[in-house]
Amino acid sequence: MNRRKKINQLLKANAKKASAKLAPKSKDKYVSKADRLKLAEGSDQDASSSPDNET
C-alpha cells in the first residue's frame, strides 16, 4: 500500500467516524429489565391512584 493510499484511507475513516457521531441515533437507549419493572410498577400506581383522585 503506497503512502497516498494509506493517508486517504485514514482520512476517510476519520471522516466516517465524525459523520457517524453527528448522525441521529436510530435506537433508543437500553433500559434494563429491573428498571422496566420499576417503571411499570410506577405507572400502575399512577393509574390506580388517578381514579381515586377524580371521585
Residue 34 is assigned to a structural domain of this protein: yes
Residue 52 is assigned to a structural domain of this protein: yes
Residue 38 is assigned to a structural domain of this protein: yes
How many domains does one find in the chain? 1
What is the reported pLDDT for 1?
A: 72
Residue 12 is assigned to a structural domain of this protein: no
Residue 42 is assigned to a structural domain of this protein: yes
For the segment 1-50, what is each residue's pLDDT rounded down to a tens digit? 799 999 999 999 999 999 999 888 788 889 999 999 999 988 887 777 65
Residue 36 is assigned to a structural domain of this protein: yes
Residue 17 is assigned to a structural domain of this protein: no
Give the predicted TM-score (pTM) of the model: 0.43
Q: Give the CA angle between residues 30, 31, 36 to the nearest 5°.
A: 155
